[in-house]
Structure 1
Amino acid sequence: MFTGIVEELGSILSITQTGSSLELSIKCSFANELSLGESVAVNGTCLTVTKKTDSSFCADVTPESFRRTSLADLQTGSLVNLERAMKANGRFGGHIVSGHVDGVGRIISFEKEENAVNVKLAVNSELARYIIEKGSVCIDGISLTVATIEYSEAESIFSVAVIPHTWENTTLSKKSSGSKVNIECDLVGKYMEHFLGFSAMMNENKKNSEALQDFMTNFPSFH
């Protein structure tokens, strides 16, 4: 479990690719504090520490994460947002983030407005359904608030306002128009949709079963 508050910028030391899987070696200052098997969010993707030194750690990227995230676009030297899993007695500075990326969005534009940078992004309808104005969204592991959203069947556009601290201490300032970013939608919304949809499906199945049973009971028997 994470909060979307980026702890530091790490850098990619090496990438070993085998088909649609990767092994990433990442330089970071807290590597010596990590334990094997510990979770670290890398650009918002929950990865497991498999090896470590005093200054770096390794993590595997599975084919599913390779397909679902933008980690496949990383290169040696790329900067990445890092966050360790939240401690049980820690503060929720952002929002509830699982590190399970829902899909990839695309940056459209940056616009400076006084002390903020307004970033516009495009997402497909599968992601847009979970994004609401003033709701939470995680972009490359950064907890942000949705400022505006324009829904469309093909591609929806939403914006976030980035404060100077976040701009200076995350990878957002290194991005450009067209850059891909990992999107994790609000966890609560996804579960609510699932529960409501599952309940409706079960009720419909029950009605169909009762109707079939009633039909079989009352259907005349011919011998």
Structure 2
Amino acid sequence: MFTGIVEEIGEVVAVEFGAESARLTVRGPLVVSDAVHGASIAVGGVCLTVVDQPGPGTFTVDVMQESLRRSSLRDVAPGRRVNLERALAAHGRLGGHIVQGHVDGTGTITARTPGDAWEVVRIAVPADLARYVVEKGSITVDGTSLTVSAVSAVEEDEPWLEVSLIPTTLDLTTLGSAPVGTTVNLEVDVLAKYVERLNAFGRAGGASA
């Protein structure tokens, strides 16, 4: 489990694509400093397992087809900057919100509006994820825990959400330099998905009673 508090910006230094998978080597001196084989590190919001440490400050991870299909890692190339976070220690602080590192899909940055000390970023959201997003709720964007500051109306054909990035987020995550058109990984609040699933079973049980 993660909290969406990015620890450092890493860099993808090597990529090997297979038929239905990929192997990435990432430079991240902080997050790999105490890593062991099998450790979990969120790379751009995707929970991945350390399988090798080929050199100082680097680690290697395998990415399966499901993760490639749902995330922007399907288009990753050497030189790509990625947000990195180690798994939460049991005694750690939950500084953001409960983040699984299980990316639900991708969105696209469609606008950036600067303020005096922050920036409002609008992201187009897939219709099948929009129902889980609420104003003042939590959303994970490229592994960064953020508060939703505005959402599109339910009846809009092209749903979107907005987040407001403070100077720290702009400086210490990849979102600070991501231009309009950037594809970002999205993980919605897992609690919303549980509620939807429970309600579906409740309705099915009621109908068959």
TM-score, normalised to structure 1, is 0.89
Tell me which of 132, 140, 143 is aligned to 1:141.
143
Q: How does 1:85-104 map to 2 (within 5 A)?
A: 85-104=87-106
Shift of 1:153: 5.2
State the alpha-carbon separation in 2 of the partners of residues 71 and 17 from structure 1.
Answer: 11
State the alpha-carbon separation in 2 of the partners of residues 140 and 97 from structure 1.
Answer: 11
Report Cα offsets for 1:138-178 as digits up to 9, x if no partner. Answer: 00000000000113453201100000011011001221111
Match of 1:210 in 2: none
State the alpha-carbon separation in 2 of the partners of residues 149 and 170 from structure 1.
Answer: 23
Match of 2:72 in 1: 70
- Asked if 1 retains the 8 angstrom alpha-carbon contact of 2:170 and 2:177, the reply is no
Q: How does 1:152-171 map to 2 (within 5 A)?
A: 152=155, 154-171=157-174
Match of 2:28 in 1: 28
Match of 1:3 in 2: 3
Q: Does 1:13 align with 2:16?
A: no
- Asked if 1 retains the 8 angstrom alpha-carbon contact of 2:3 and 2:99, the reply is yes
Identity across the alignment (%): 42
Q: Based on CA coordinates, which of the two structures has the bigger radius of gyration?
A: 1
State the alpha-carbon separation in 1 of the partners of residues 56 and 112 from structure 2.
Answer: 37
Match of 2:51 in 1: 50
Match of 2:200 in 1: 197
Q: Per residue, is there more helix in 1 or in 2? A: 1
5+ long unaligned stretches in structure 1: 208-223
Match of 1:111 in 2: 113
TM-score, normalised to structure 2, is 0.95
State the alpha-carbon separation in 2 of the partners of residues 34 and 144 from structure 1.
Answer: 26
What one-letter code is carried by the residue in structure 1 that aligns with 2:99?
Answer: V
Report Cα offsets for 1:162-204 as digits up to 9, x if no partner. Answer: 0001101100122111110000001111111111111221222
Q: Number of aligned pairs?
A: 206
What one-letter code is carried by the residue in structure 1 that aligns with 2:199?
Answer: L
Report Cα offsets for 1:40-60 as digits up to 9, x if no partner. Answer: 100100001110143100001
Match of 1:216 in 2: none
State the alpha-carbon separation in 1 of the partners of residues 42 and 192 from structure 2.
Answer: 21
Give the secondary-structure state (helix, strand or coil) at the position aligned to 1:97.
coil
What one-letter code is carried by the residue in structure 2 that aligns with 1:75?
Answer: A
Match of 1:120 in 2: 122
- Asked if 2 retains the 8 angstrom alpha-carbon contact of 1:125 and 1:153, the reply is no
Report Cα offsets for 1:42-79 as digits up to 9, x if no partner. Answer: 01000011101431000011011111100112211111
State the alpha-carbon separation in 1 of the partners of residues 58 and 164 from structure 2.
Answer: 32
Report Cα offsets for 1:14-51 as digits up to 9, x if no partner. Answer: 00001231100001113231011111100100001110
- Asked if 2 retains the 8 angstrom alpha-carbon contact of 1:124 and 1:154, the reply is no
Give the secondary-structure state (helix, strand or coil) at the position aligned to 1:32.
coil
